[in-house]
Amino acid sequence: DSDDITEVENYTKNKYAEPNDEMFGVAAEKNIIKIHLESFQSFLIDFELHGEEVTPFLNSLVHDQEENFTYFDNFFHQTEQGKTADAEFLLANSIYGLPQGAAFVTRGNNTYQALSGILNQELDYSSAVFHGDYKSFWNRDEIYKQFGIDTYFDASYYDMNEENTLNYGLKDKPFFEESMPMLESLEQPFYAHLQTLTHHHPYLIDEEDATIAPAETGDASVDRYFQTARYLDEALEQFFTDLKESGLYEDSVIMIYGDHYGISQNHNRAMEELLGEEITKFKNAQLQRVPFIIKVPGVEGQGTNHKYGGLIDVMPTILHLMGIKSQDYIQFGTDLFSDDHNQVVPFRNGDVITPEFSVVSGTYYDTVTGEELEPTEEMKEITESAQHELELSDKLLNGDLLRFYQPTETWEPIDPSIYKYGKEAF
Ligand code: GP9
Ligand code: MN
């Protein structure tokens, strides 16, 4: 009820981090092109296999100063059983996924005040999602209506012939290629979310698409992981070329993120061989880093930014870049560019990672050295507060509490009944 929403509101307003003046509003009215790198973990950045870079294009974005990207190398996915859907959910709402199941499915009919809806109401943005799988996967065709997504270019918009498809759906190269004209057809400014798919377990790849030899651990899916990562990297490079040709590149915020881990703990032996170190519980927790890479037109890139954060922090970051005070909305994350950004990263399994310490399965470690440590009172308080935050987030979802929240005077609840998805719907 309304008492519960007040408790959540007080919490998030209190956690709010003021924007950095230099970044506030710099991207207002610019298009947003958000690129989802399926199953992409940060250890792939700069990783060499057989003496070759696995992802030379992404590496160039991270390292070439003139590209003006900022790469967050201490950024974590925070997802649970909902995998891709959890990543999408965190990004769209700055609310945590649920400890079990996928909020996309079990909370697909809740009321939301999602990024796409806010951008539409505050700055008249249109919104679209592009993905080479069919619309009902992960209940997307229901929850996107609650997010106010105008168009969902699902598999029905693409040429899903045998040559173009593998594993879960459309291969990344035809995906980006066919997405280009649809992207260009959007009303500007737009918020566009492109979700890749080929670099997905069990990392199948057609022979003609493999441009790097597999690893040689004998664990077949791990060995192919590098081949599909390379394929994704090439698909991305081609997409950037097309974006530049179309003129969209110059005028858009480009943001790239990894959605969740690709290699689970069932593959520790192979990973130990590849990384040359033991995969302890601590190490595994640190491997939950995924890249977050962002470029804002006209703003100088920072190279590598070492601040700690996660998917929960992206929405408030974007709102501030757009010049929208994120404090009006219920958000559990904080702006990554703010000097007051909160660097405590909670996970759904109870782990917590901060720049100083990590809590993994209840044991405290020094994040930098990996040494076990005796927690101080302050560390315990930070850990408890992270758990409290997750509980409030669950309470918000389970009670569908945003129904009772009026963020601004002019906010109009999103009406899901006005959206229809799938090409055949028209
Ligand atoms: C399916 C794709 C995969 O459409 O997004 O989801 P995942 O298995 O990674 O959660
Ligand atoms: Mn995924």
User: Which atom of ligand 1 lies closest to the CA of 137?
Assistant: 4
What one-letter code names the amino acid at 192?
A
348 touches ligand 1 (CB under 6 Å):
no
Q: For the residues 105-118, what does the mean pLDDT come to?
A: 98
Would you state the pLDDT for residue 425? 66
Q: For the residues 422-426, what does the mean pLDDT come to?
A: 77
Q: CB 241: neighbour CB atoms within 10 A?
A: 12
Would you state the pLDDT for residue 165? 98
Q: How confident is the model at residue 2 (pLDDT cuts 50, 70, 90)?
A: confident
CB 293 within 8 Å of CB 72: yes
Would you state the pLDDT for residue 115? 98
Instruction: Using the mean position of ligand 2's atoms as its centre, give its distance from the Cα of residue 407 in Å.
Output: 31
201 touches ligand 1 (CB under 6 Å):
no
Instruction: Using the mean position of ligand 2's atoms as its centre, give its distance from the Cα of residue 88 in Å.
Output: 9
Q: How far apart are CA 157 and CA 422, in angstroms?
A: 7
- Ligand 1 pocket test, pick from 197, 201, 311 with the greatest ligand atom count within 8 Å of Cβ, gives 197
168 touches ligand 1 (CB under 6 Å):
yes
Distances (CA, A) of 283 to 277, 356, 358, 366, 382: 9, 15, 10, 12, 21
Q: CB 199: neighbour CB atoms within 10 A?
A: 27
Instruction: Using the mean position of ligand 2's atoms as its centre, give its distance from the Cα of residue 369 in Å.
Output: 30
User: Which atom of ligand 1 lies closest to the CA of 86?
Assistant: 10
CB 405 within 8 Å of CB 115: no
User: Which atom of ligand 1 lies closest to the CA of 84?
Assistant: 10
Instruction: Using the mean position of ligand 2's atoms as its centre, give its distance from the Cα of residue 35 in Å.
Output: 12
- Ligand 1 pocket test, pick from 138, 158, 290 with the greatest ligand atom count within 8 Å of Cβ, gives 138
Instruction: Using the mean position of ligand 2's atoms as its centre, give its distance from the Cα of residue 222 in Å.
Output: 16
Contacts of 295 (CB under 8 A, 6+ apart): 67, 68, 69, 70, 253, 254, 255, 301
CB 293 within 8 Å of CB 61: yes
User: Which atom of ligand 1 lies closest to the CA of 82?
Assistant: 10
Please name the helix (run of DSSP H) or strand (run of DSSP E) that holds residue 380, with its range, or none: helix 377-398
User: Annotated catalytic sites, by residue?
Assistant: 84
Instruction: Using the mean position of ligand 2's atoms as its centre, give its distance from the Cα of residue 260 in Å.
Output: 6
Q: CB 80: neighbour CB atoms within 10 A?
A: 19
Q: How confident is the model at residue 344 (pLDDT cuts 50, 70, 90)?
A: very high
Q: How far apart are CA 9 and CA 266, in angstroms?
A: 40
The strand pairing partners of 35, in sequence order, are 194, 256
Would you state the pLDDT for residue 257? 99
What is the ipTM, given to two decimal places?
0.99
Which ligand is closest to the CA of 169, given by its number?
1
pLDDT in tens, 122-181: 999 999 999 999 999 999 999 999 999 999 999 999 999 999 999 999 999 999 999 999
Residue nearest to atom 6 of ligand 1 (CA): 84
Q: How confident is the model at residue 210 (pLDDT cuts 50, 70, 90)?
A: very high
* Mean predicted lDDT score pLDDT of the chain: 97
Number of H helices, E strands in the chain: 12, 16
Q: For the residues 317-321, what does the mean pLDDT come to?
A: 98
Q: How confident is the model at residue 426 (pLDDT cuts 50, 70, 90)?
A: low
- Whether 1 shows a pLDDT value over 80: the answer reads no
Residue nearest to atom 4 of ligand 1 (CA): 133
User: Which atom of ligand 1 lies closest to the CA of 140?
Assistant: 4
84 touches ligand 1 (CB under 6 Å):
yes
Residue nearest to atom 9 of ligand 1 (CA): 84
83 touches ligand 1 (CB under 6 Å):
yes
| pTM of the shown model | 0.98
- Whether 356 shows a pLDDT value over 80: the answer reads yes
- Whether 100 shows a pLDDT value over 80: the answer reads yes
